[in-house]
């Protein structure tokens, strides 16, 4: 019996040593230690062993079983380790590979221009105010001294929603809302989107942006207007920038003017950029019309003020020397990421 056990053990160990896969180890376990395995068969044949020998043989069977199990466990551990190592070898991370690119967007040229304008005026003590894009006829026209039958209404090619409501054609309507609050003095700029039924071309779009400014206080004169806007131009286009005011007509201001700045490309000598004139038209402005003041409940005998309006796209186009306004709206990343 002892010899038989020794033989089983030797065979089992030899098979374990020769096996090269985990499932083969499992087969060996079943064939020696399983219910129908060889060791179990030995235990079953115990009935043939003399009664006094049985404990001794039982012990020998158990010892053989334990030895085979220990060797099996060792082999299994070794094999699992080898499998893991092979896997780690195959899945090595190459730290020299380029990292996945993280694309960070940035501000649109319009936004950069707006932040610049806001920075300048906030620095002069102005408040930034926003108003509704859908307006009544009253706020967009009438309260700005443009009565129902005035030809200026036609010029603005307005988008009407119905007889009373329309998409604002100018951010000046925000000024009226502010004046009606009866909190004086007023120093504000109102940036925002405006709408006109213009055909799209290099300098026109049915939707664009304006920044409107308004100052109302006692003793405000045209000198305040000139000083403020000249400082604005110098901050925006450089210290040597000169300004020039040309008489103009707007309904809501009297007197009214258009302001030109000296060409920041040629310094006023005349170049292709300024079409040889040395000047670039930049904004419209004027002293707030007494009618506009009194319609909003402000006494024009006591208060006066000035207002101005500048196209945001115009500033962005000039600052970045972009020659077609449509480029600002096409949202072509290759174009926008240049700024």
254 is known to lie in a ligand binding site: yes
Q: How far apart are the first and last CA of the chain?
A: 93
Closest to 228 in 3D by CA, of 283, 171, 291: 283
Residue (274 or 307) nearer to Zn ion, CB: 274
Using DSSP bridges, classify how beta strands 279-288 and 207-217 pair: parallel, antiparallel or unpaired.
unpaired
Alpha carbons 197 and 329: distance in angstroms, whole number: 16
Residue (154 or 323) nearer to Zn ion, CB: 323
Least separation, in Å, of the C-beta of 320 and Zn ion?
A: 16
Alpha helices in the chain (DSSP H): 2-18, 22-33, 38-44, 54-90, 109-123, 137-140, 151-155, 172-180, 222-237, 290-295, 312-320, 327-330, 333-336
Least separation, in Å, of the C-beta of 318 and Zn ion?
A: 11
Residue (264 or 306) nearer to Zn ion, CB: 264
Would residue 192 be called left, alpha or beta, if left means φ above 0 and alpha means ψ between -120 and 50 degrees? left
Nearest-CB residue for Zn ion: 263
Alpha carbons 248 and 49: distance in angstroms, whole number: 128
Q: For residue 16, what are the contacts with CB-CB under 8 A and spacing of at least 6?
A: 25, 28, 68, 71, 72, 75
Least separation, in Å, of the C-beta of 272 and Zn ion?
A: 7
CB 83 within 8 A of CB 25: no
Residue (152 or 271) nearer to Zn ion, CB: 271
Alpha carbons 280 and 288: distance in angstroms, whole number: 24
Least separation, in Å, of the C-beta of 161 and Zn ion?
A: 42
Residue (147 or 238) nearer to Zn ion, CB: 238
CB 328 within 8 A of CB 109: yes
Question: Which is it for the CA torsion 170, 211, 217, 252, positive or negative?
Answer: negative
Least separation, in Å, of the C-beta of 234 and Zn ion?
A: 17
Least separation, in Å, of the C-beta of 249 and Zn ion?
A: 27
Residue (177 or 319) nearer to Zn ion, CB: 319
Least separation, in Å, of the C-beta of 319 and Zn ion?
A: 14
Q: List interacting residues with Zn ion (CB under 5 A).
A: 263, 265-266, 271, 273-274
In what helix (H) or strand (E) does residue 255 lie, and over which residues does it extend?
Answer: strand 253-262
Least separation, in Å, of the C-beta of 204 and Zn ion?
A: 23
Q: For residue 248, what are the contacts with CB-CB under 8 A and spacing of at least 6?
A: 256, 257, 258, 284, 286
Residue (170 or 241) nearer to Zn ion, CB: 241
Alpha carbons 251 and 254: distance in angstroms, whole number: 8
Residue (197 or 277) nearer to Zn ion, CB: 277
Binding residues: 254
């Amino acid at each position: 019996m002892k010899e038989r056990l020794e033989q089983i053990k030797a065979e089992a160990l030899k098979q374990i040593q020769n096996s090269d896969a985990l499932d083969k180890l499992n087969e060996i376990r079943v064939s020696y230690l399983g219910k129908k395995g060889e060791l179990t068969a030995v235990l079953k044949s115990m009935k043939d062993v003399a009664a006094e020998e049985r404990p001794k043989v039982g012990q020998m069977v158990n010892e053989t079983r334990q030895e085979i199990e220990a060797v099996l466990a060792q082999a299994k551990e070794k094999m699992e380790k080898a499998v893991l190592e092979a896997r780690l070898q195959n899945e090595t991370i190459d730290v020299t590979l380029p990292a996945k690119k993280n694309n960070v967007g940035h501000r649109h040229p319009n936004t950069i221009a707006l932040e610049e304008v806001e920075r300048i005026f906030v620095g002069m003590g102005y408040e930034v105010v926003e108003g509704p894009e859908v307006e009544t006829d009253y706020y967009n026209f009438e309260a700005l001294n443009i009565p129902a039958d005035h030809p200026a209404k036609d010029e603005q090619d307005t988008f009407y929603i119905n007889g009373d409501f329309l998409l604002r054609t100018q951010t000046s309507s925000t000024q009226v809302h502010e004046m009606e609050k009866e909190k004086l003095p007023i120093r504000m700029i109102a940036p925002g989107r405006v709408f006109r039924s213009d055909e799209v071309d290099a300098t026109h779009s049915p939707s664009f942006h304006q920044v409107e400014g308004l100052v109302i206080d006692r003793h405000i004169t045209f000198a305040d207007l000139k000083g403020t806007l000249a400082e604005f131009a110098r901050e925006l286009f450089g210290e040597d920038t000169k300004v020039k005011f040309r008489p103009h007509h707007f309904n809501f201001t009297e007197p009214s003017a258009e302001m030109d700045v000296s060409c920041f490309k040629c310094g006023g000598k005349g170049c292709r950029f300024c079409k040889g004139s040395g000047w670039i038209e930049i904004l419209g402005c004027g002293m707030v019309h007494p009618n506009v003041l009194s319609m909003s409940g402000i006494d024009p005998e006591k208060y006066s003020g000035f207002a101005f309006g500048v196209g945001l796209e115009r500033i962005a186009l000039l600052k970045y020397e972009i020659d077609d306004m449509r480029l600002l709206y096409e949202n072509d990343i290759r174009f926008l990421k240049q700024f």
